[in-house]
Amino acid sequence: MGFAAQRFNVNLSILFTELPLLERPAAAAAAGFTAVELWWPWVDSPTPEQSELDALRRALDDAGVQLTGLNFYAGRLPGPDRGALSIPGEESERFRANVDVVADFARSVGCTALNALYGNRVEGVDPAEQDALALENLVLAARAADRVGAILLVEALNKVESPLCPLVSAPAAVDVVDKVNRASGLGNARFLMDLYHLSMNGEDLPSVIERYTDRTGHVQIADNPGRGAPGTGSLPLADLLDQLGEAGYEGRVGLEYKPGDRPSAEAFEWLPREARAAR
């Protein structure tokens, strides 16, 4: 089976970043892809002008690519201020202001998966207070996602690159997913299984797949070490994706890796062109 059996999205917030945002959808299409995903593109603005949203929508339409995944506002990524929804004060308010903007944009382009990154621990704030705020805001996001026919994704990062993030294991992220589903009553919160982050945490990836595939709404990959393309590190990514398929995962796989010292268009030689179009 291998990679050819999967449906891939290209993450335009880590690949094709040598190009302006509005040129990236066309570049992904030229490389043979029909589906893309994005972190929140306006890192300093949870509520961009409607003209900016419209321009991104046109760029996607003109390129003929489907936006299948989008992050809620989470500060500047990558960076030390990852996440917003569990940070009291201004960051949490910015997240709340962003929720309906993301949901409405997702509905306008047919995007069905919305990712809400947990925030870092904040010095001087009780972790229990942050977790209560996170649950409140995640339920808000789950309701907005449900309103537009989308799922809400909760992701585990890695403790090496995000030492202040409390969700740095699959069990921790899945526990939050379960809490959100119980609190909202909607059942639309799902685990985002990022195999790179989980490998950086030293988790047993086959065991994670066995335990959590049934609660997984999206998968992302990069090789490790280096967060490069498949084949640049030592992760058996083709085998792991086969295991996911055998466990019943039928969703998409996001390519969230760094292209290295080359243009992004040259970073897909591992994947035959005929296998790049999402089916």
Known catalytic residues are 155, 256
Which residues are within 8 A (CB) of 87 and not within 5 positions of it... i.e. 6 or more apart?
A: 119, 120, 122, 130, 133
Question: CB-based contacts of 114: which residues, under 8 Å, 6+ apart?
Answer: 69, 70, 71, 72, 102, 103, 106, 141, 144, 145, 150, 151, 152, 153
Please, which residues have CB within 8 angstroms of residue 113's CB and are 6 or more apart in sequence?
37, 68, 69, 70, 150, 151, 153, 217, 218
Cα separation, 68 vs 159, in Å, equals 27
- In whole angstroms, what is the distance from residue 99 CA to residue 138 CA? 10
Percentages of the chain per state (helix, strand, coil), in multiples of 5: 40, 15, 45
Could you give phi then psi for residue 207, rounded to 5 degrees?
-70, -40
Amino acid letter, residue 250 = E
